Structure 1
Amino acid sequence: MVVAAWFTALVVVAVAHRWIPQSGWLLVHLLGIGAASNAILIWSGHFTDALLRRSATGARRPDTARLIAFNTGAVVLVAGMVGGWWPVVLVGGCVVAGVAGWHGITLLRRLRAALPSRFGHTVRYYIAAATMLPVGAGFGIAMANSGLPGELHERLVLGHAAVNVLGWVGLTVLGTLVTLWPTMLRTRMAQRVETAARRGLPALILALAVGVAGALAGIPLVTAAGTLGYLAAALYVLEPHLDEIRRKHPADFATLSVLAGIVWLLGSLIYLTVALATASTPLEAAAAAGSVTAALLAGFLVQVLLGALTYLIPVVIGGRAAVQGAMTELERGASWRLSVANAGLLVCVLPIPSLVRVLCSVLVLVAFASFLPLAVRAVLVARRMRGTASKPGRPEPVPARKRIRSAAAGLGIVVLGAAAGIAADPAAAGLSTVDASNVRASGYTTEVEVQIEGMRFVPDVLEVPVGDRLVVTLVNTGTDRHDLVLANGTRTARIGPGETATLDAGLVGGQMDGWCSVAGHRQMGMTLTVEPTGAGDDLEHTDHGSEAEAGSLTSSDVSRSLGADPAAGFVAHDPVAPAPAADHRITLAATDEQREVAPGITQRLWTFGGTAPGPVLRGRVGDVFEITLVNDGSIGHSIDFHAGSLSPDEPMRTIEPGESLVYRFTATRSGIWLYHCSTMPMSLHIANGMFGAVIIDPPDLVPVAREYVLVQSELYLGAEGGEADSDKITAEDPDLVVFNGYANQYDHRPLQARVGERVRIWVLAAGPNRGTSFHVVGGQFDTVFAEGDYRLRPDTGGSQTLGLFPAQGGFVELEFPEPGHYPFVSHSMVDAERGAHGIVEVRE
């Protein structure tokens, strides 16, 4: 029940993760510290008593006390992390570590007090594992202190993951399988299992020590060597179990789930060994470890945990009829659940479009979460059947044909989910159509290699004899993700730096244009031309992609929108400035979102955190911000925080869909600072919604009655429901200029104030191209703060505008003398007429 409670919390956070602070950390630790650690504490104690033939009489009270203390510490730890209270994290982490040490000492005493046992080496696995959690908890407590230097933090991340996953969990699982695996299969133990387990434990511990030492020292190659050693030792320990599998094939959910989990563990270790061996910095090593998080936690840990519980829950229930009824319930849909979970996970770890990953991850969650209602049903059925006479034995096995059909249905659901994601976003999957050519073939093939320099194809003119078949090898020698599309419809997939793709353009019969289809890259000059040779001037010129964005909204569309009211139920972007946060560990997901930007006008924005502008972050001088950027979008993105001063090489790098990075900076100077995507073309990424504000309070900032934040930006409208028009951006011809992402929204939902209240308005000019001259009609500013300095303080004069260039910010303060409606605008009046307009409604 304790494990089920933590697993239920895990499912709730997984469903609502976008709205829960620290959701990524919570998902990992609700599973690791919550569900898995409780299962280890409970069952390692139980198995120790059973293997040592020791009576559990008198041990229940101390075991229960440990369990209560552990869960209290775990809850305190989670609360401390979510609330950003490091002393609370320290207390909770110390309790968790202390209970794990207490558990290990208890097992050691039981081992020494017992008579020599054939399976004493399994208990030694548990004792060794129990020594790992205090070490891992110590690393975690240190990591929770946001004042750590960046590289030290990344080293601790890698060490923390290795000790907890491969030590605390991995050693427990490998030790338990010695006896539990043949028991689950209902076959005799293979001859070499015990010997391999006894000899493998020192090798596993030594390899883990090497890997952790390499992680802490910041030497990825040493970490890779430790990972390889652990993999080799694990294979040595597991290999004898193959004989048991040959004799009795896994056929139920429990055995198949555990087997799938072990396969995911070994596969993850192989990948991780290679990734660590090729990493050059601790940051890259930590990123490599992060890339196998889903495989290790969902693939290995969850499946081993669910498989073991499926077998063990009926054991706890007892009674032949009750056991049989419980097992029948827990086996429902076994093949379907296993097929969906593993096929969906496999899709999720591949380089796929973001929408496909989201759909498949939902299917995986459904497959795993279905265990909870089945477990409840199993307990209820067992209670009802307890004491009922029944023949001994297990439930009738499901026929193989039915299992195969069920597994195939699960696989089909995953395939349909992936297909739906691709259908919704075919460009992200690199799909295209190829036009047939009626040109007479020459029988020859022209092969050309095209490289990338900056934002140019080299060469950018390809001379090809008429009738030749053209084959282009695209070598991405640039620093961003690119593709090549030809006007006849042929294209390459999008490839990363250092990768190569081949395009078969078919027969060449006329001039053709080519370009990179990544948003904005064509406008930055990533074009080429296929020039046919050996024919006259009557050659056809094929260009299926005009330079202008087809279907872009017109000025008349914009005019109608600006004169209209939003739909009923419209909710304005919250302009209220947040209070400075105690914790600055934030996950920002880069996502593609359909958002209304003016009445009746919708655009497909790229956002930070689902909104444009992104969430306002606020702190004080000296605060450390740790931002985890997760790219859930369809193209590469990055992030640049003006509030920090640091080398941009690593934290501001572009990450591809499905990747993440950690950006850590210390706020050393006050002001309102821009953050934005810095992926090229930067103007397009900012114009399409990827910007936000960070407020760092001046040390002498006094409280006021009301505080608002207004971020001004431009919108260069593409087609309805489409993305920004790159040509309009290049021409600096915006359709709308807006505060907080929506034209004239505060005309319809005014800011509120009262007569005599002091109001502070923070203003940031996000651009990408235009600044602002912020003015409140009918008001006068007695305080003006811009770019880190006070230009005006009370009783020294007045100001009518706050003038800002693009990417500059500040605040103004004023009091309203009487009730009324006070418009605020950018006093570049054409911008006010484009939507940079709102109202402050002042009441008595």
Structure 2
Amino acid sequence: MTKPLLGFIFLCVTACVSQAPVNSQTEASPTQSSIVKRFTLVAQHTTLTIDEGVIHKGFTFNGTSPAPLLLVNEGDNVEITVKNIDTVTHGLSIHAANTQTALKVANLPAGDTKTLTFKADVPGVYMYHCAPGGHGIMTHTMGGMFGMMVVEPKKKFALEEELGRVPDIKVYLAQHETYSNGRDFFDGKPLYVSFNGYNFRYVNEPIVARPGDYIRFYYLNVGPNLTSTFHAVGGIWNYSYPQGNPANKMMGGQSVLTGPSDSFVIDWQVPAAGPFLFVSHALGTQAAKGAVGIISAKDNAQRPSVISSVGLTLPLPTQPKRIVDPFGIGSPDIDRAVHFHAGDPVYVQMVGNSFSPKIVEIPVGTNVTWVNEDVFDVLEGERSGKHSIAVTQGAEIFASPVLLHADKFNVTLSKPGTYEYICPLHPYMKGRIKVY
């Protein structure tokens, strides 16, 4: 398959997307019997607190990650408007839309607005995410632009019919990964794995319930890379439904298995008092990195009716312990300078819209070679894995041509000092060279 054909398929086929719903309106059209639900998603660069003293610089919809929770009913007509207030191209892929969406809401330039309409005719728990097109779909999703949409079915789930009541608590739970750089993203090595935007969020603030409560989990594994096994310690599910569709009933079970963008509705009655952990049972790669929560069940507890998947908007620490910037330069404990000696070969990869390593220290007279490891080098701009190099500050100013996959550019640096540089095609992509 040629790369131009691959690029067209990737752009047109995979650019599909998406507390109470944010920026939504519901109305009955005078000419239709169906309900119309409207949402607005605003694409922007945002800095968020994701752990105590830890901040993340990335992309978001509406300033949170996960983005707003979109709730509709089977049969609703849905209208989603995407506004791009950022400086780079964004877009939208909404998995709940069983229609062509790339021509409507992909490739959205800075300052532009586009709208998608569709009928939510298949119930389930769906992911939505940014989709500029092509290479940008992968990197912007990694950068934090994702959320959950639920299409509630007309048909009742089995436990609801058996008990004759709706769930006592609805828990909308998005599991997702945080990467400190594009190389780790490509290699599937996340720094953190979280529920709803914050490491150990529901350990710090357990979800309160009562023994015998009927809890429904709307569980989505955003990924974007790892497979999860979602499990409640001390509990066995009553029923689980792959993709959140009541037609897909499974009885019992200790866990549910999900790849990236897979989802479940899980109905469970809390069997007794006491704390119940819920985890991704991939313990070392996920639970230990933040994917753990607690159901705290006590008699007569004041429990919430809804736990939303939307991420937190906490005040930023004045002196953060750690800065995670997957595309630029974060704090030194994350983006450590790599020291080279005279005669060492120095290669800097361009991968996942970041430089690897982001910071190098070299002696005067060292030759540095950049190599583009991003494979998706069709399309243009934000949608492409093409890269280039331009020095923005330093003793010598230089720039490269546009580099396709496996292309190289090299330069010998003969003057000492600190060189700051970017990829002009992806200007948030930053690197540094210290010449001594």
**TM above 0.5:** yes
Structure 1 runs (4+) greater than 4 angstroms displaced: 19-22, 789-793
Residue 834 of structure 1, aligned match among 281, 284, 289: 289
Aligned partner of 1:780 in structure 2 is: 236
Matched residues in 1 for 2:265 and 2:128: separation? 17
Say which of 67, 70, 78 aligns to 1:625. 78
- Report which of the two has the higher share of helix: 1
Contact 1:780 1:798 in 2 (8 A): yes
Q: Distance in 2 between matches of 1:807 and 1:648?
A: 17
Aligned to 2:105: 652
Indicate yes or no: 2:67 matched with 1:614. Answer: yes
Instruction: Name the SS for the 2:154 alignment partner.
Output: coil
Q: Does the 8 A contact of 2:22 with 2:69 survive in 1?
A: no
Shift of 1:610: 1.4
Give 5+ residue unaligned stretches, structure 2.
1-19, 161-165, 300-436
Select 1:729's aligned residue among 182, 185, 190. 185
Summarize deviations over 1:656-681 as a string: whole Å, max 9, x none.
11101001111111110111112323
The aligned residue for residue 149 of structure 2 is: 694
C-alpha change, 1:605 and 1:583, in structure 2 (3 Å) is farther
Match of 2:227 in 1: 771
What TM-score do you get using the length of structure 1 for normalisation? 0.31
Distance 1:829 1:755, change over 3 A: same
Match of 1:706 among 148, 169, 173: 169
Quick one: distance in 2 between partners of 1:754 and 1:634? 48
* Aligned CA distance change for structure 1 residues 760 and 736 (closer, same or farther; 3 Å): same
Corresponding position of 1:684: 139
Is the CA contact (8 Å cut-off) linking 2:22 and 2:70 kept in structure 1? no
Residue type of the alignment partner of 1:695 = V
What is the CA-CA distance between 1:632 and the residue it aligns to? 1.2
**1:698 is matched by which residue type in structure 2?**
P
Number of the residue aligned with 2:263? 809
Residue 147 of structure 2 aligns with an amino acid whose one-letter code is G
Give the CA deviation at 1:604: 1.4
Partner of 1:43: none
- Report matched runs for 1:119-134 at 5 Å: none
SS at match of 1:781: coil
How far residue 817 of structure 1 moved from its aligned partner, in angstroms, is 2.2
- Determine the C-alpha separation between the residues in 1 that align with 2:220 and 2:277: 18
- Aligned partner letter, 1:749: E
* Contact 2:44/2:84, CA 8 A, preserved across alignment: yes
8 Å contact kept, 1:783–1:790: no
Following the alignment from structure 2 to structure 1, what is the Cα–Cα distance between the partners of residues 102 and 267? 38
Higher relative contact order (CA 8 A, sep 6+): 2
Shift of 1:810: 1.1
SS in 2 for 1:681: helix
Q: Which of 195, 207, 210 is the equivalent residue of 1:739? A: 195
* Distance (whole Å) between structure 1 residues aligned to residue 87 and residue 57 of structure 2: 11
Structure 1 residues 592-626: Cα deviation after superposition (integer angstroms, max 9, x where no partner): 11101122110112111211111111112211110
CA contact (8 A) 1:597 1:741 kept: yes
Residue deviations 1:502-528 (CA, integer Å, cap 9, x gap) = xxxxxxxxxxxxxxxxxxxxxxxxxxx
Task: Tell me by how many angstroms 1:772 deviates.
Answer: 1.5
- CA distance in structure 1 between the aligned counterparts of 2:99 and 2:70, rounded to whole angstroms: 18
Q: How does 1:348-387 map to 2 (within 5 A)?
A: none
Determine the structure 1 residue equivalent to 2:213. 757
- Cα distance in 1, alignment partners of residues 72 and 39 from structure 2: 13
The structure with more radius of gyration: 1
AA matched with 2:140:
H
Q: Contact 1:714 / 1:767 at 8 angstroms: preserved in 2? A: yes
Deviations 1:53-78 (A, max 9, x none): xxxxxxxxxxxxxxxxxxxxxxxxxx
Unmatched runs of 5 consecutive residues or more in structure 1:
1-18, 23-81, 91-141, 148-581, 718-724
- How many angstroms does 1:841 deviate by? 0.7
Is the partner of 1:84 in helix, strand or coil? strand
Q: Amino acid of the residue matched to residue 798 of structure 1?
A: G
The aligned amino acid for 2:97 is: G
Structure 1 residue 754, shift from structure 2 partner: 0.6
Aligned 1:476-491 pairs, distance under 5 A: none
Q: Output the CA distance in 2 between the equivalents of 1:652 and 1:767.
A: 22
Alpha-carbon offset, residue 85 of structure 1: 3.2
Partner of 1:85, secondary structure, is strand
Q: Is the 8 A contact 2:92 2:128 kept in 1?
A: yes
Q: Please show how residues 205-284 of structure 1 align to structure 2 within 5 Å.
A: none
* CA distance in 2: counterparts of 1:615 and 1:689, whole angstroms: 12
The reply on whether 1:668 has 2:124 as its aligned counterpart is: no
C-alpha distance after superposition, 1:66-95 (max 9, x if no partner): xxxxxxxxxxxxxxxx853336xx6xxxxx
What is the Cα deviation at residue 636 of structure 1? 0.8
Structure 1 residue 583, shift from structure 2 partner: 4.7
**Following TM superposition, by how much is the alpha carbon of 1:21 offset from its aligned partner in structure 2, in angstroms?**
6.9
Query: Cα–Cα, structure 1 residues 20 and 806, in superposed 2: closer, same or farther, change >3 Å?
Result: closer
Distance 2:25 2:188 in 1: 44
Matches within 5 A, 1:231-630: 583-630=36-83
Tell me which residue corresponds to 1:133.
none
Q: 1:812 corresponds to which letter in structure 2?
A: I
Offset of residue 587 of structure 1: 1.1
Asked if structure 2 preserves the Cα contact closer than 8 Å seen for 1:716 and 1:734, the reply is yes
Q: What is the number of residues matched between the two proteins? A: 268
Q: Provide TM-score, normalisation by structure 2.
A: 0.58
Give the % identical residues: 28
Distance (whole Å) between structure 2 residues aligned to residue 649 and residue 772 of structure 1: 29
Q: Give the residue type in structure 2 aligned to 1:709.
A: Y
